[in-house]
Structure 1
């Protein structure tokens, strides 16, 4: 019944039936996995992780691959890309030819800005032929390759336009050829007509290579060309804050704002570090304890989250959100 409701898009009703199934057969890993999937669909990621891990505990050693994949996807949805990557590595150690695991590994690597690893994973997916086998996908890929060849021929001309290099860079990026994409964007770089996206991707490449000053410059240029460029704005804020905390490591506000920035795009692991640094600098900063509690809760560390909420209430007894979160944590969610 739950599966039928889920197929009809009635996720919350399906979730209630899955919960009943788990209560009726607590040691059946399948029911825990199905409940985890339902929780994930409605954004209850911590609950999804708990149920998926319970399914893994109950599964036979040789039957855990699908559950471990689910756990990795939950971590990805929570923005914990490092944990997703570690989980997927476990899967690949058991099943090195699992194309889905390589595909999820590519997503985790992208989340960690490890574009070399991302391309390696996508290359492995292509080699295994586990994705993109539909006629529509193959036709789209062939069209991209045809367009790349066409634009590459145009760049051999002395009068190749900025638009040609930029379009070629975008196509390279979409097909995972990052080094070629950066080279194409660089060829367009001398012109003021280069688009915001090109500056953004040059910034991403510079940041991944440790050239933060150059990355900041690229992000600034992208924002100047497109003030609402979400990716450039986000990366610029993070890069400037990282630069600030490197220059002024005891700047409480810089660390706290960096934590908020990481939280805004669900990088909970880095947010935890930033809020922790904030508290090291000022142990009685109540709001930092509260934000740390939220971060720990998203990472599934409920006991530590409860302690952070308790400290918040101790420092600021009228903090309503912290009191509610503490009660929720103490009651098991």
Structure 2
């Protein structure tokens, strides 16, 4: 696995970051030896957002001079915000304060490896493994760096240990890379081919292509390399590395992290990450929107609404706030209030297809059929791949016995989403209304095969059978 490119921020560190120095006062570690006070990096050129994070963590480290975790957190924040020298020193100090925590030498190793200093990185990694030999990513990195140094036997042993600890896929890929360097392509293929059937990762095919080429099997090499496309290195989960992301100081990075947590179904963690930022950025559009969504996902709809309403006070023409307020009122059954905000969304940004679709549903509730159909058509104009909007429009046409147009619309819904059971059911019922029984049976058979909504499917099939019997 190729060594990662050295980040520009680290390459240019000497020019952009100078340590302002270490405070003269010292703390003591657990054995009574002196440990320098927390590192102070020059923040003059740093963004205000980063400065807020770093100064807060620096003060926490000063307030608890013997606390290794506070010192390590400061190091993580320095690292992810581009202050690598300060981070290395902070990790070293944290390791002195608590020599039994594997995180601090691990983080030192990762930083040094990013700089290309693999020998010292391996030394720190060995210290981390000595403390916690059961952490698989540490063995994967050990194997990767030893491979880069052409220490193939030791690299193979490290990858083997990672596999024993549960990191089977990346460990097997690592062992295959060792075999390729040793000229043992046939053995590498034996490892990689079973993986290619389970994980269609481009990097696996890239290695397979290299292995076949090494054996002179040009056709097989071309076939494997044809699967590569854009090949990046295989990556693996690293919980220790993930911990550092929460200390990214720029607001955009922290909001991005919060959204990622929500996408992973962890809205409470997202809320913890950004809730305290509001006092620093009380009117920031992105923060207010993300905070509102976090409250909604943690079942605090009123707090979510309050954040959005404040957002409208300071950004009255920001359509996203109107959009989310409309969604809140739709969820709570207040169609009248939702209607007004949907109209405002459409005025501000007419390309938002969702707003037109929801407007159409509200208009249907008010028996404004033509207006509703116009809204659905506009929604489909902006997003022709929304199966549910085809379905809504088809139901509107069916309500006035416009069967031919309903058939076209329901057909559109299942063309866009062939697994949309209710679309097949509605299509089958509409076809039956026009006497196209064979096509109706085919539509309902497709619905039956999907295995969802069995009640609706069975009712439609029974209605079709009765209609056919009545016409005989």
TM-score, normalised with respect to structure 1? 0.39
The structure that is helix-richer by fraction is 1
Q: Which has the higher contact order (CA 8 A, sep 6+)?
A: 1
